[in-house]
Amino acid sequence: FRKPAPIIAGILVATLCNHALAGAFGAWIAQLAGPTTMRWALGVSFILMAIWMLIPDKYEDAKESKSSKLGVFGATVIAFFLLEIGDKTQIATVALAAKYHALAAVVIGTTLGMMLANVPAVYLGEVAAKKLNLKVVHSIAAGVFLILGVLVLAGYAQVL
């Protein structure tokens, strides 16, 4: 669409909705499980997330649409919300909300992280895609998840 403002606003709304639902689900899970179970579930989920980060995302090329009944904002909200269901960030949001009993803080933090990643992509999309080495980016993210998982399993989650 080449209209960054409504695209960014759409990403924000979709991410807030998606992460609020994921966070609420994580908080609900936390009520069902004890602290030891939650620690193991979170630690293992972070380690699994590290492995998953090393598997490249597969994006199908969508045919470019010149017109949409929903407009740029509406199309972005719906597309981004649907694409994020079950994605790595949503699963991380579930895990974080399950561990830390601060739903609003988790949703705000994960949404802020998504916006920090996506706003530059909207403005620099094609240029950044050609310049950034996604294998390196994914490897760094995998390393962070692995470290967090090990720290949680070792009982150092209170430090985080």
Q: Confidence class of residue 157 from pLDDT cuts 50, 70 and 90? A: low
Measured in whole angstroms, how far is the alpha carbon of residue 139 from the centre of its chain?
A: 16
Flag whether the pTM goes above 0.75.
no
CA pseudo-torsion sign 15, 20, 25, 26: positive
Condensed to tens digits (0 to 9), the pLDDT of residues 74-93 reads 989 998 898 888 788 888 89
Q: Which of 3, 124, 122, 11 has its CA nearest to residue 76?
A: 11
Condensed to tens digits (0 to 9), the pLDDT of residues 42-61 reads 788 888 888 888 887 665 44
pLDDT at 126: 63
Distance separating alpha carbons of residues 93 and 69, to the nearest angstrom? 32
Condensed to tens digits (0 to 9), the pLDDT of residues 99-145 reads 888 899 999 999 999 999 888 888 877 666 667 777 887 888 889 88
